[in-house]
Structure 1
Amino acid sequence: MPMTDETDLPRGEARHYGQTTSDVVVDLHEYKQARNPPPITFHRRELDLILKVYGRMVGEGEWRDYAIDHLRDRAVFSVFKRAGEVPLYRIEKNPKLAAKQGAFSVLNAHGTILKRGHELSQVLKIFEKILKLVKS
């Protein structure tokens, strides 16, 4: 067996010289109907809006940690007062609800929807109105 720098192929699979990954054609209709669709993610502009609110709330001492989950049916940005606790709020993106109540929502620690809508910027305005306990 000759020694080469090429990777081994599974048994019975032929090597096609000159074929690169850019030569592969993917039918988008089939891709969308695949059994393992890609997870739902936040787009860069959506993350920019969320992180702007997050930064402000961290600066005010209200939030200290966050987590991002990309699931099959939704993307979730969770914010915490302390790491390891139940999230104070969850900002969710669920594209299946886009045509109905809106894809974006903010939920509290108990799972109650505080605000829902089609525009993330409008939904995030809920954090401008949150009352804070004032120590006298």
Structure 2
Amino acid sequence: MINANSPLQFDPDRVVFDRTELNVILSVYGKMVAAGEWRDYALAFLRDVAVFSVFRRAAEHPIYRIEKRPRLRNAQGAYAVIGMDGQVLKRGHDLPTVLRVLERKLIRAVN
């Protein structure tokens, strides 16, 4: 039984990544960790956005944020990759397609 004050309790007012979305994100994350580019991540589930932040070192600001904003689903697309300067690198409706912008950076890092 989950305690009413437990952070694990389902909250319908929060946006979350589902298991399929997390599998896609963690697949890219694992490749980048193996290449030595990334070292840490953080998750935030807020009222209007779910955020997967990527860090080069734990004490830094995130170098990338992968965001899910369901309100933008019908317009620009629910998913976005945002750089450390706040610039939207890619936005769209399909998460694997949006994450390709990060895989291109992996190809450059390996070459």
TM-score when scaled to structure 2? 0.84
Matches of 2:73 and 2:103 in 1, distance apart?
24
How do 1:1-136 residues align onto structure 2 when only pairs under 5 Å count?
37-130=12-105, 131-132=108-109
Percent identical residues: 54
What SS class does the counterpart of residue 98 from structure 2 fall into?
helix
Q: Which amino acid aligns with 2:77?
A: G
State the Cα RMSD in Å. 1.6
Note the residue ranges of structure 2 that are not aligned, 5 or more in a row. 1-10
| Residues 27-70 of structure 1, C-alpha deviations (whole Å, 9 max, x = no match) | xxxxxxxxx85210000000000000000000000000000000
Matches of 1:92 and 1:65 in 2, distance apart?
17
Gap change, CA 1:133 and 1:55, over 3 Å in 2: closer
Matches of 1:106 and 1:75 in 2, distance apart?
12
Gap change, CA 1:85 and 1:46, over 3 Å in 2: same
Q: Which amino acid aligns with 1:75?
A: A
Matches of 1:53 and 1:120 in 2, distance apart?
11
* CA displacement at 1:133 relative to structure 2: 8.6
Q: Which amino acid aligns with 1:132?
A: A
Pick the structure with greater CA Rg.
1
Note the residue ranges of structure 1 that are not aligned, 5 or more in a row. 1-35
Which is helix-richer, 1 or 2? Answer: 2
Greater RCO (Cα-Cα under 8 Å, separation 6 or more): 2
* CA displacement at 1:128 relative to structure 2: 1.8
Equivalent residue pairs, number: 99
Which is strand-richer, 1 or 2? Answer: 2
TM-score when scaled to structure 1? 0.69
